[in-house]
């Protein structure tokens, strides 16, 4: 019998609902779920091609030890034994998990519980560190919690949508479709795109500001000063609900209009026009993504944006607010379970003894980590220098995606014990594993994800588990039991884990913690199977707000106020004749991460078939490169050779290259091998958008 199952797309943070149909002959087809509030039936090219990526070619289907097939028990025993041995000989901080925004919340929850509550280290970090950790740090500084105030409907309700560091058309395509439809029906709605490149998103913009790399703090500081001097500040709101305005204004005033123009690369008229538009439009939403986050000043950029919304009281109301758009399907779920090395579970704070005690008592945990663990870049440094001796990587491919990727590969080669859980047998990362554990893929696994607007949706299985592949949470729980933690890891299903996760969020939560889905603490299997997409906060009698955060002007700092954060524009990188170009890394429309899934679809590969670098015609002429020539790009960290795409959409002096390809697709194609391990001092997020390189015809 043919069957249809409602599930969620596994790619970007939009979190679109998908209906998967399995016909009698086993053929799978997908369509958008018209009832899902994220997409109302829409899908983008990646989501539409999901059925083309489900074959078992290249799948890892059995555990392996040292390249030979092994049984589950033998593999799990070995993992537990080697982790216990390292902990006994070198302490809990000698082991680490590097996980992923591709994991389901239930997988993430068990990984975080094992590491932070039972191993007693906070050395669990995630590829979400590379994606949105600057937003997390900025939210916590401003709001006292990692609360995303935005909702997708804000893009339709706003009169001005500012997109900064966000190529929405390619990276969050269904949100772009919603925005474009809203603008078509209300042509008076304005869209401003702030991006060094003239992206496809800029094609619907009323104003495109081709900002200099890392010019965002200066731009939003200039906006704060303009709003203040033009009398657009909401003084009542600032007095009643915030602290620190004077300090933020003083910091923002450091640059005059000439200085702003120099720091942003924008003409004074462009600055004045943008400032005036923001000033005179009440309903403004400012969306930002990796162009803001992936910077050595990423957290300051986030706070510069939030400062402007706090100053005008444009937050917590329909069609208004700062809005971080997460890259991955479950970056938000990972944040909810505390999957970042500097967070505890359920949005609790690892540095607060009250929160550590609450988590300890809830879990019955012997050893809750008492300090933040190593963030991604530092974690791989610790692997490289031998401090970490046992590493478990789940659902991610850091040899392609981490900055300084060649050094990351060398670190894995030298690490005494590497476990990789993945769906594929042969990736740049699995090649360095001592133990390989086969995981379930999309359509086979079962759990929940949270999208960028805090909406929790089910991913449901509609295919049988192939051969010996198993859920990531099951692998973790089985290792935990073998490490002696049977009682706390007796979960029999993802439904049980979700119920425990929900219960922890509500445990002793008096409303001073933003994340509370405790209403689901007693959910049973049947209710979990039927769970409709829902957004938190959920209306309930005792909730201070209903549905929308900050509607009542109450924030999560102890005094209930939001904080303005004084931020100053970073110094521009000094001109270097040896490295004259600035490389900006990013994505293409039809591929996802390191292409382990989208690379299977010929249709998706037809859009852009090979690694490339965008270069402005004047720069191409200077270095003697024509369209489609091969170009060698070098940074102090590495070298790639990719094809030239000569286009005036790229600003002179700047290059753009996508991060998807690896050395299997083309020789020397790993773009992240060029990116130095420079990180934001607050978030630890790598600066992947502003890399000094040289380029020459190959
Ligand atoms: Fe999937 Fe994102 Fe496309 Fe939606 S917009 S179908 S979640 S990739």
pLDDT tens digit sequence for 501-532 = 999 999 999 999 999 999 999 999 999 999 99
The pTM of the full predicted model, rounded to 2 decimals, is 0.96
Query: If you average pLDDT over residues 241-252, what whole number do you get?
Result: 98
Cα 48 to ligand 1 centroid, rounded to whole Å? 9
Dump pLDDT digits (tens) for 573-592.
Answer: 888 999 999 999 999 999 99
Helical spans, DSSP H, in 385-493: 398-401, 405-414, 472-482
Least confident of 279-288, 473-482, 483-492, 565-574: 565-574
**pLDDT value at residue 572:** 83
176 lines ligand 1 (CB under 6 A): no
**pLDDT value at residue 147:** 97
**pLDDT value at residue 546:** 53
Dump pLDDT digits (tens) for 106-150.
Answer: 999 999 999 999 999 999 999 999 999 999 999 999 999 999 999
pLDDT score of 289 more than 80: yes
Query: If you average pLDDT over residues 419-425, what whole number do you get?
Result: 97
Q: Which atom of ligand 1 is nearest to the CA of 11?
A: 8
43 lines ligand 1 (CB under 6 A): yes
171 lines ligand 1 (CB under 6 A): no
Cα 28 to ligand 1 centroid, rounded to whole Å? 18
Percentage of residues in the chain with pLDDT exceeding 90? 93
- How high does pLDDT run on average in the chain? 95
438 lines ligand 1 (CB under 6 A): no
44 lines ligand 1 (CB under 6 A): yes
Give the DSSP letter string of 260-297.
HHHHHT--HHHHHHHHHHHHH-SSEEEEE-HHHHSSTT
Least confident of 30-39, 270-279, 662-671: 662-671
pLDDT score of 543 more than 60: no
Q: Strand order in 321-324's β-sheet? A: 207-209, 190-194, 160-164, 284-288, 321-324
Q: Which atom of ligand 1 is nearest to the CA of 175?
A: 5
Cα 65 to ligand 1 centroid, rounded to whole Å? 36
Dump pLDDT digits (tens) for 591-605.
Answer: 999 888 998 999 999
18 lines ligand 1 (CB under 6 A): no
Burial class of residue 364 (count of CB atoms within 10 Å of its CB; 0-12, 13-18, 19+): exposed
Confidence of residue 544 (pLDDT cuts 50, 70, 90): very low
Cα 570 to ligand 1 centroid, rounded to whole Å? 34
Beta-carbon contacts of residue 613 (< 8 Å; ≥ 6 apart): 631, 633, 642, 643, 644, 645, 655, 656, 657, 695
Which pair of tokens denotes residue 62? 């059995």
Distance CA 493, CA 150 (A): 32
pLDDT score of 388 more than 60: yes
Give the DSSP letter string of 566-605.
---PPPPPPP-TTS-EEEEEE--SS--TT-TTGGG-HHHH
């Amino acid at each position: 019998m043919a069957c249809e199952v409602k599930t969620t797309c596994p790619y970007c943070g939009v979190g679109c609902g998908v209906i998967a149909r399995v016909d009698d002959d086993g053929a799978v087809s997908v369509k958008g779920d018209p009832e899902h509030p994220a997409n109302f039936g829409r899908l983008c090219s990646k989501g539409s091609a999901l059925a083309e990526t489900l074959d078992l070619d290249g799948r890892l289907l059995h555990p392996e030890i040292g390249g030979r097939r092994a049984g589950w028990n033998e593999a799990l025993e070995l993992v537990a034994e080697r982790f216990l041995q390292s902990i006994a000989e070198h302490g809990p901080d000698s082991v680490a998990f590097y996980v992923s925004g591709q994991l389901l919340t239930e997988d993430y929850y068990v990984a975080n519980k094992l590491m932070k509550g039972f191993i007693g280290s906070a050395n669990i970090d995630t590829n979400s560190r590379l994606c949105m950790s600057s937003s997390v740090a900025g939210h916590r500084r401003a709001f006292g919690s990692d609360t995303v105030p935005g909702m997708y409907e804000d893009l339709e309700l706003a009169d001005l949508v500012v997109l900064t560091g966000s190529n929405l058309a390619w990276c969050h395509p269904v949100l772009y479709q919603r925005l474009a439809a809203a603008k078509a029906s209300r042509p008076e709605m304005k869209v401003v795109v702030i991006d060094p490149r003239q992206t496809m998103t800029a094609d619907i913009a009323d104003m495109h500001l081709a900002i200099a790399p890392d010019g965002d703090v200066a731009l939003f500081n200039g906006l704060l000063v303009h709003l203040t001097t033009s009398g657009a500040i909401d003084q009542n709101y600032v007095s009643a609900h915030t602290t620190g305005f004077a300090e933020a204004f003083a910091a923002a005033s450091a640059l005059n209009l000439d200085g702003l123009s120099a720091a942003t690369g924008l003409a004074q008229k462009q600055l004045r026009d943008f400032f005036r538009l923001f000033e005179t439009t009440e309903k403004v939403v400012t969306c930002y993504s990796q162009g803001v986050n992936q910077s050595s000043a990423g957290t300051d950029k986030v706070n510069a944006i939030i400062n402007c919304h706090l100053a005008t009281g444009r937050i917590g109301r329909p069609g208004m607010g700062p809005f971080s758009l997460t890259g991955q399907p479950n970056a938000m779920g990972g944040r909810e379970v505390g999957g970042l090395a500097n967070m505890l579970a359920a949005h609790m704070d690892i540095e607060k003894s009250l929160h550590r005690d609450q988590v300890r008592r809830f879990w019955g945990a012997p050893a809750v980590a008492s300090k933040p663990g190593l963030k991604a870049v530092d974690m791989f440094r610790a692997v490289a220098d031998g401090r970490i001796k046992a590493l478990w990587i789940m659902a991610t491919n850091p040899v392609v995606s981490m900055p300084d990727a060649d050094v990351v590969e060398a670190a894995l080669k030298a690490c005494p014990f590497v476990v990789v859980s993945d769906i594929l047998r042969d990736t740049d990362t699995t090649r360095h594993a001592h133990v390989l554990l086969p995981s379930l893929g999309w359509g086979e696994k079962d759990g929940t994800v949270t999208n960028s607007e805090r909406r929790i949706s089910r991913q449901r299985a509609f295919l049988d588990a192939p051969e010996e592949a198993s859920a990531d949470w099951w692998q973790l729980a089985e290792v935990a039991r073998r490490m002696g933690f049977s009682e706390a890891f007796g979960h029999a299903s993802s439904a049980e884990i979700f119920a425990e996760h929900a219960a922890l969020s509500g445990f002793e939560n008096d409303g001073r913690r933003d994340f509370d889905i405790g209403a689901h603490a007693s959910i049973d299997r049947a209710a979990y199977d039927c769970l409709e997409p829902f957004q938190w906060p959920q209306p309930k009698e005792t909730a201070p707000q209903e549905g929308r955060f900050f509607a009542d002007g109450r924030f999560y700092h102890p005094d209930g106020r939001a904080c303005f954060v004084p931020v100053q524009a970073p110094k521009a990188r000094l001109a270097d004749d040896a490295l004259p170009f600035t490389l900006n890394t990013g994505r293409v429309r039809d591929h996802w991460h390191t292409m382990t899934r989208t690379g299977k679809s010929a249709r998706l590969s037809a859009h852009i078939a090979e690694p490339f670098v965008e270069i402005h015609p004047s720069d191409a002429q200077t270095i003697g490169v024509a369209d489609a020539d091969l170009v060698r790009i070098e940074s102090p960290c590495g070298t790639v050779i990719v094809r030239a795409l000569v286009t005036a959409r790229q600003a002179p002096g700047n290059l753009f290259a996508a991060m998807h390809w690896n050395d299997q697709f083309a020789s020397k194609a790993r773009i992240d091998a060029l990116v130095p391990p420079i990180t934001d001092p607050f978030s630890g997020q790598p600066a992947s958008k502003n890399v000094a390189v040289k380029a020459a015809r190959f």
